[in-house]
Structures are given as C-alpha cells and as structure tokens.
C-alpha cells in the first residue's frame, strides 16, 4: 500500500470514497439534449454588448455592491413578497448544500419524493444527514398518505418539493402540496428550477408560509453557464441560512452577466415561449412513434417511455443526439429517457434519430 493509499484510508471519509460523483456526459460533436439547457445563444448584438460590459468589470476587486444590485434586481423580477428576503447561491446546487449545512442538527433528516433531483439526497449524504425518499405514485403524483407518514415518522428538518419535478417534468397537485406544507415539522423548500416553462408558481403563496423557502435558478432562464441560484423566504430565516454561505460566492463576472440578462428579460422570455411551443410539438411527434409514451410536461424536458431505453439511448447517441437515460434511476422510471426540448431543428433531428433507433 502506497503512502497515498494509507493517507486516504485514514483521513478521507469512507462514505465519500464509496459514492459516485455527479456525472456529466461528454457532448463533444453531439446535439446536446441531456441537461435541460436553453439551446439558444444570445443574438450577435447582445453578445457584443455583453462582451463590452464584462470587459469593463473590475475583476481585480472582490465582489461588492453589484451583488446587492443583483439581489434587488432578482427580487423585482421574481415579484418577491413584502417581508421576504433573497439570498444568492453559486447555482441551486450550492443553496441545497448550504441548507443541509444549516440544518445539520443531531438526528436531522431530509425527506423528498423519488424519483427527484439527485442533489437533495447527495447533499444529505455529504453533510451526514439522514435521507428518506418517498416514491411517487405510478402516474408520478405525490403519494399523500406515504408523504404524511414519512413526515410523522421522521420529523424532517427539510422537505423538498420540486415544482415542476425533475425528471418527471410534472407539476404536483397543489392541494396535496398545501397539506404537506401544513404538516411539515421543519422547513419546506419549493424548488422552482423550471419556472420559466411552468403554468403555475408558488411565489404568491410565499407570504402565507413563514417556514417555506422558494428556490429558483437562472440556469433554465438561459444562463446555465453563469451559475446563479437564488432562494427566497422569511427575512429572519434567510438571515440565518445566509450565515453559512461562503464569502464572495458569486463572482463579479457572473453577477454582471445576470444583471445584463435581467435587463434583456424580454429576449429570454421570447426564447422560453418558443421552447414551450416546441415542447407541445415534440410531445405530439413522440405520440406518433410506435411503442413510445411521452408524459405531460411543465418543464423544458419530456420524460418518455420506450420499448428498450438502452437500445434507444445508444441509437440516438450513434446518430449524434445526446439525451439522458434515466431508466435505472428509480423503478418508476423503467424504460424511460429524458429529452431536453431543443431548437425546432434539434427536435426534428432527435425525433428522426429516435424513430430509427427504436
């Protein structure tokens, strides 16, 4: 055994060594439809304007007042209710990690429906918290009885509800969500990562529930590469969670790019409208393929069940189209692929490739 082996065996956590890192597929040369990104680039005029603006940023200084300006701009953009505050994260992933850190009291548990966003469980494992996943129903709805039983049995510090959910792409029944919020003994996090594509939001209800946090990201807005997440909630609650946030977690370049995007929100709204229209066309086209079942979507992705997920995934990849094979993530996702909604041309090519791959 080498010295490094000895050091790792003694000082690196065994549970971490046994975990799998978050996987990112190599998309070189592919039509990239695996990560729910906005497929549209900025128009050339806006690209030039953004470049000039970023070139003038004082990158020799630590982030300062522009971070506060971004918080204020996001609060206006989201319609933040009175008496609620907003904090920033380096993407939603950091906010999820900070929540686990802030709620790491002895015996703390995180509860979330499954299948769901993998970072809820990963953040619990990394912080040493218990994680309890509650399976959805066969039609990907919240199992109210099972969720209520989990809340009663485990008394979780955190309950995550993704709205819409990932990877199933559906909005849960609001009446069930409300009853779970009322029953939750700890904090409830409504994760609205895909809000630009959804027909409903919980932002107007945030003022009614002091123990509810609403989380969003600019990744699906169109800035996946910029890494800006934000979380809203009661001022006293946000003030406490903000204490575990690393200093200067948002770079001046990221903040300036986000402010630029908010100033041109109409362009991103136009892009989101196109993607919503494309989503409807994509679902209709999928319905016409033999043995293929697309599920309803309120996000910029479509979950689809195919006769053989491995074969379809490999066939798509061979034809230059990269999607996400989620068939082994959870028993409810057996034979399922997750397709990101792309540009009209990308969607057309994906459908043709999938037809040939079945």
| C-alpha radius of gyration, the chain, whole number | 21
Q: For residue 334, give its domain range.
A: 3-44+266-357
Task: Quickly tell me which residue has 């409830």 as its tokens.
Answer: 188
Please answer whether residues 88 and 71 qualify as being in contact, where contact means their C-beta atoms are separated by less than 8 angstroms. yes
Share of the chain above pLDDT 70, in %: 100
Work out how many domains the chain is built from and give that number: 2
Regarding whether 156 and 73 lie in a shared domain, the answer is: yes
At 130-143, the pLDDT tens digits run 999 999 999 999 99
> Does residue 49 lie within any of the structural domains?
no
Structure tokens at 264: 């041109």
Q: What does pLDDT average to over the chain?
A: 96
Q: What is the pLDDT of residue 150?
A: 98
What's the mean pLDDT in 106-124?
96
Please answer whether residues 307 and 291 qualify as being in contact, where contact means their C-beta atoms are separated by less than 8 angstroms. yes
> Does residue 53 lie within any of the structural domains?
no
What's the mean pLDDT in 167-177?
97
At 205-232, the pLDDT tens digits run 899 999 999 999 999 989 999 999 999 9
CATH number of the CATH domain containing 272: 3.90.1150.10
Picking from 215, 247, 264, the residue at the C-terminal end of a domain is: 264
Regarding whether 64 and 17 lie in a shared domain, the answer is: no
Contacts 24+ apart (CB under 8 A), 134-140: 135/330, 135/331, 135/332, 136/165, 136/168, 136/332, 138/332, 140/165, 140/168, 140/170, 140/295, 140/303, 140/332
**pLDDT confidence of 31, banded at 50, 70, 90?**
very high
What's the mean pLDDT in 270-296?
97
> Does residue 50 lie within any of the structural domains?
no
Picking from 213, 238, 264, the residue at the C-terminal end of a domain is: 264
Picking from 212, 237, 264, the residue at the C-terminal end of a domain is: 264
- Backbone φ/ψ region at 355: left (φ over 0), alpha (ψ -120 to 50), beta: alpha
Q: Is the torsion defined by CA of 149, 209, 196, 93 positive or negative?
A: negative
Q: What span, in angstroms and rounded, lies between the C-alpha atoms of 233 and 186?
A: 14
Regarding whether 270 and 259 lie in a shared domain, the answer is: no
Regarding whether 282 and 228 lie in a shared domain, the answer is: no
Q: Is the pLDDT of residue 22 over 80?
A: no
What's the mean pLDDT in 259-286?
97
């Amino acid at each position: 055994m080498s010295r490094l082996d000895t050091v790792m065996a003694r000082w690196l956590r065994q549970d971490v060594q046994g975990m799998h890192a978050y996987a990112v597929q190599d998309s070189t040369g592919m039509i990239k439809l695996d990560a729910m990104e906005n497929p549209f680039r900025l128009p050339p005029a806006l690209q030039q304007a953004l470049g000039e603006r970023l070139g003038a940023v004082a990158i020799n200084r630590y982030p300062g007042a522009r971070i506060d300006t971004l918080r204020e701009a996001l609060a206006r953009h989201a319609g933040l209710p009175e008496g609620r505050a907003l904090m920033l994260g380096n993407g939603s992933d950091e906010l999820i990690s900070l929540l686990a850190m802030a709620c790491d009291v002895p015996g703390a548990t995180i509860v979330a429906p499954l299948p769901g966003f993998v970072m809820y469980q990963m953040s619990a494992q990394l912080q040493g918290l218990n994680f309890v996943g509650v399976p959805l129903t066969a039609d990907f709805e919240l199992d109210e009885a099972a969720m209520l039983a989990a809340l009663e049995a485990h008394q979780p510090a955190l309950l995550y509800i993704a709205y819409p959910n990932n990877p199933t792409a559906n909005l849960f029944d609001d009446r069930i969500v409300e009853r779970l919020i009322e029953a939750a003994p700890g904090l409830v996090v409504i994760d609205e990562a895909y809000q630009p594509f959804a027909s409903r939001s919980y932002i107007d209800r945030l003022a009614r529930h002091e123990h509810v946090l609403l989380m969003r990201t600019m990744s699906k807005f169109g800035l996946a590469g910029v890494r800006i997440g934000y979380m809203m909630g009661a001022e006293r609650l946000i003030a406490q969670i903000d204490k575990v946030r690393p200093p200067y977690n948002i770079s001046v370049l990221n903040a300036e790019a986000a402010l630029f995007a908010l100033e041109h929100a109409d362009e991103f709204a136009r892009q989101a409208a196109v993607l919503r229209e494309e989503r409807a066309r994509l679902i209709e086209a999928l319905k016409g393929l033999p043995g293929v079942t697309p599920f309803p979507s309120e996000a910029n992705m479509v979950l689809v069940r195919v006769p053989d997920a491995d074969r379809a995934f490999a066939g798509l990849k061979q034809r230059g189209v990269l999607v996400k094979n989620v068939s082994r993530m959870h028993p409810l996702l057996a034979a399922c692929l997750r397709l990101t909604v792309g540009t009209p041309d990308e969607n057309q090519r994906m459908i043709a490739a999938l037809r040939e791959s079945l």
